[in-house]
A and B are shown apart, each in its own frame.
Chain A
């Protein structure tokens, strides 16, 4: 075993341990802010695993999207709410926890069985490429073109939805009907706030 292989083996062990420990922390720690920060740790460890698999672009994208955007937004939401509130004790919490643990362990055993029993097609020698970018680009524009375009359409729809939610002036006022309860469940609960007198109204 030469130097490179030794470093790879050690980093694989460390990264796997970090991923598992941080993921357990996300689930088990009662403080939601700690969970959110540990989620960032999980994402970073996983990007390290990608790096070990020679997927440098995927590793960087993982950090940019999951740590830089998703995790920051989760933290942002938690901190904007920032409500120090202890969870109320749930009835039969021990039974519930044991049931959940059993279901999770069962799922894990099932997955482990699938992983070990599947005859994976392993390519023994993968040619080292200087950059995976070119290959990813070629795949995206040939055999993965349809999923790529579908994903972009999905993102566009999500973007439009987010803008509509953010610009609440487009939400119609609730119309008085005979069934106000049913109507209310379908409409948005939040209404546009009236502009305060004196705040700038010329910015749009």
Chain B
């Protein structure tokens, strides 16, 4: 049965045409999606840094980067070039092993989460059964890297920054997980693809934002806190802690931190898109259109159109979140550490529990609307 484009099978067939066995061809295929997603995530994170400069400039009535390429789009590349050729300094009294391992752990834990982020029905590395739970679990490794770099820098600002980062991400992980749990309750599965498919029926009306408004707000706040963005950027608060755990870092190691913080922001945006804004779905159900025109869903050119529309929609939704986060960064003052922890434990956690209870009650009472 023909089910549309299958890139994996096509590539394996081509490679077998060159005389390779099927096993070898499969091994050659396997790293390709990972490499592609890694590259795309890096490029999109670089776009985030450019967007940050432009939006902050607009918020302060400046022009921002202008001369490097059209609208200064080459600034991120210049950044990367500068950071790569900088000298890699390890402070004399620092612990060299932990100092190097810290940024690596943070970087790996952020990029591993892209394993389950879907850009389309089959456009993801692996549709793991544990899906969203895996993302929450893996992103909880990052604080260890932050603590490691904060401790090994042998600098009180770095240590305080690392401790704050760990405290913050432990506190806000719980409301984040509770908000995601309410979504999971509605979609009867942890897999990210099934979560999106459950929001696919009626276009924009069936997106989870309308069914989970409280969870949406909780998720937005916790995601900002997990990304250490203003108003929750306590771990690297410039006025108090120099740069927190990043204080002693230069060159490539700093680039790992910088890159992973923006990749984390992008990840949060993609998660918001997948969990609440219908993932790759358009505001109107695209399957209806193909039915009207009598196009089979498996026609190759139609598949290419839907896939590219899906990727565009996912990225648009993700960048909507990122744009909001950047605007917030340049308009809202920072909270104090006690206010931050109060907000997490005394407000978001109870509200998250209530939201979960409400969702369960609605699921039993109105199974048609809440995915019974």
Residues of A whose CB lies within 8 Å of any CB of B are 2-3, 33, 37, 40, 44, 56-57, 60-61, 63-64, 67-69, 71-73, 75-76, 79-80, 82, 130-133, 203
Report the Cα distance A156→B94, complex, angstroms. 41
Segment of B61-69, B125-133, B232-240 engaged in the interface with chain A: B125-133
Q: Tally A-B pairs: CB < 8 A.
A: 82
For B27, list chain A residues within 8 Å (CB). 3
Contact B140 A40 (CB under 8 A): no
What count of chain B residues pass the 8 Å CB interface test?
33
For B26, list chain A residues within 8 Å (CB). 3
Task: Using CB atoms, name the residue of chain A closest to B163.
Answer: A79
Render B137-150 as a binary contact track against A, CB cut-off 8 A, 1 for contact. Answer: 11011011001101
Given known A-B contacts A2-B23, A63-B138, A76-B163, A71 and B133 have beta carbons under 8 A apart: no
User: Across chains A and B, which 10 residue pairs bring their CB atoms closest together, nearest first?
Assistant: A68-B140, A131-B129, A64-B137, A60-B137, A63-B137, A60-B130, A75-B147, A56-B130, A60-B134, A72-B143
Q: List 13 A-B contacts (CB under 8 A).
A: A33-B98, A40-B144, A44-B141, A57-B129, A60-B137, A68-B137, A68-B173, A75-B147, A76-B167, A79-B147, A79-B162, A82-B159, A131-B191
- Whole-angstrom distance between the Cβ of B126 and the nearest chain A Cβ: 11
Given known A-B contacts A79-B151, A131-B130, A203 and B338 have beta carbons under 8 A apart: yes
Name A's interface SS.
helix
Contact B342 A203 (CB under 8 A): yes
Task: Using CB atoms, name the residue of chain A closest to B101.
Answer: A37
Contact B170 A37 (CB under 8 A): no
Report the Cα distance A3→B150, complex, angstroms. 41
Contact A132 B151 (CB under 8 A): no
B166 within 8 Å of A by Cβ? yes
- Whole-angstrom distance between the Cβ of A4 and the nearest chain B Cβ: 10
**Which of B148, B338, B342 sits near A37, CB closer than 8 Å?**
B148
Contact B166 A72 (CB under 8 A): yes
Report the Cα distance A19→B345, complex, angstroms. 35
- Whole-angstrom distance between the Cβ of B342 and the nearest chain A Cβ: 7
B34 within 8 Å of A by Cβ? no
Contact A56 B137 (CB under 8 A): no
Could you say which of A60, A67, A132 has the most chain B C-beta atoms within 10 Å of its C-beta?
A60
Contact B140 A64 (CB under 8 A): yes
For B166, list chain A residues within 8 Å (CB). 72, 75-76
For A82, list chain B residues within 8 Å (CB). 159
Contact A132 B129 (CB under 8 A): yes
Report the Cα distance A68→B140, complex, angstroms. 5
Instruction: Beyond the given A67-B140, A79-B151, please list 8 additional residue pairs across the A-B interface where CB-CB is below 8 A.
Output: A60-B130, A64-B133, A64-B137, A76-B167, A79-B150, A130-B129, A133-B130, A133-B190
For A76, list chain B residues within 8 Å (CB). 147, 163, 166-167
Report the Cα distance A69→B143, complex, angstroms. 10
- Whole-angstrom distance between the Cβ of B358 and the nearest chain A Cβ: 20
Task: Using CB atoms, name the residue of chain B closest to A2.
Answer: B23
